[in-house]
Amino acid sequence: MELLSIVVPCYNEELTVDLFYTELVKVLDTMDVDREIIFVNDGSKDRTLEKVLALRDAHPGEVRCIDFSRNFGKEGAMLAGLRMAKGDYVTVMDSDLQDPPSNLPVMLKMIRENGDDVVGTRRVTRAGEPKIRSWFARQFYKLINRFTEVEIVDGARDFRLMRRYVVDAVLSMEEYNRFSKGLFAWVGYQVEYLEYENVERVAGETKWSFGKLFRYALDGIIEYTEAPMHFCSWTGAILSAVMLVELIVLLVMSLCGKQISSAVLIISCILFMGGILMLGLGIISEYLLKTYSEVRKRPHYIVKNYYE
């Protein structure tokens, strides 16, 4: 039988772990796959670990656990879980039941029957979420998608069913700053989305403060867009070129005996210098960008198949 690995990052989830396990197993029992459930305790300060270990004792071989020395964030927890997962299919799920286990059989059916490499899930509503947060989220997707080469789908969750080789591809990206929504999009492959209505968390509260989300969004933009850096070069180049032409015109005019106001001359010189400086900054940032992509050690490409 094929093996399905379920990776579950948990941070202060003592209230949800048991509920999640019960609901999940109910669904898994109806599916024709073997399973392993990998809980990653991301430095919880409550009794999450205790709860997970109790599950593990009750179901040896089925429940596995990774315990972090402190809170490293969901990205780190997902990475550890994906590294440990041995399944032919691997999925990541929140423990708060916001990723409905009932989607799993549908996703598995889609991946098997439609020849997809990945079946993702996408929330089509954000009901129950603060309005302001939804607004910022929408702006974030608009902004990042305008500037990136890969599409980061609005509402897509980390809850996605991946075939083994897709997980290996994601793990082959060795960068330290991991923005999963970007990594998942970057590796490509044939992805189909299962759409569903937002579900509210069963218990406990969200671990994402507005500040944390803002930093997360900023990470995504910095990791996946180069446009802001090119902007500097372009504005600098255009500004200095325009001002150079203007200065030449002024020079010719004064040679022809026209009176030029010194204010115009000074302002033109300042703008010209400003343009040159911006261009310089732009050039430096282009080098920075190159250095950045070198140290990030992303693979040059990802091959799905060799046909030989």
Residues 75, 96, 158, 223: which binds Mg ion (CB under 5 A)?
Answer: 96
Query: Rounded CA gap, 296 and 174, in Å?
Result: 7
Out of ligand UDP, Mg ion, none, which partner does residue 235 contact, by CB within 5 to 8 A per kind? none
Minimum distance of Mg ion from residue 206's CB (angstroms): 6
11, 71 Cβ separation under 8 angstroms? yes
CA angle centred on 300, ends 295 and 306, rounded to 5° = 150
Query: Rounded CA gap, 199 and 197, in Å?
Result: 6
Out of ligand UDP, Mg ion, none, which partner does residue 91 contact, by CB within 5 to 8 A per kind? none
Cβ closest to Mg ion, residue 5 vs residue 98: 98
Cβ closest to ligand UDP, residue 13 vs residue 117: 13
| Beta-sheet pairing, 3-10 with 34-41 | parallel
Cβ closest to ligand UDP, residue 52 vs residue 279: 52
Query: Rounded CA gap, 39 and 63, in Å?
Result: 7
Please report, as a single letter, which amino acid is at residue 8. V
Nearest to 24 by CA among 126, 96, 125, 80: 96
Q: Which residue is nearest to Mg ion (CB)?
A: 98
Cβ closest to ligand UDP, residue 104 vs residue 278: 104
122, 184 Cβ separation under 8 angstroms? no
Positions touching ligand UDP (CB under 6 A) are 9-11, 13, 42, 71, 73-74, 77, 94-96, 98, 201, 206-208
Residues 98, 103, 240, 268: which binds Mg ion (CB under 5 A)?
Answer: 98
Query: Rounded CA gap, 88 and 81, in Å?
Result: 14
Residues 13, 14, 94, 158: which binds Mg ion (CB under 5 A)?
Answer: 94
Minimum distance of ligand UDP from residue 151's CB (angstroms): 21
Assess 42 for contact with Mg ion (CB under 5 A): no
Cβ closest to Mg ion, residue 96 vs residue 223: 96
Q: Which stretch binds Mg ion (CB under 5 A): 86-94, 120-128, 156-164, 227-235?
A: 86-94
Cβ closest to ligand UDP, residue 38 vs residue 243: 38
Out of ligand UDP, Mg ion, none, which partner does residue 184 contact, by CB within 5 to 8 A per kind? none
Query: Rounded CA gap, 18 and 33, in Å?
Result: 22
Query: Rounded CA gap, 76 and 286, in Å?
Result: 29
Write the interaction track for Mg ion spanning residues 161-200; mark x where CB under 5 A is met and - where it is not.
----------------------------------------
Residues 6+ apart with CB under 8 A from 59: none
- The torsion region of residue 12 among left (phi > 0), alpha (psi -120 to 50) and beta comes to left
Interface residues with Mg ion (CB under 5 A) are 94, 96, 98, 201
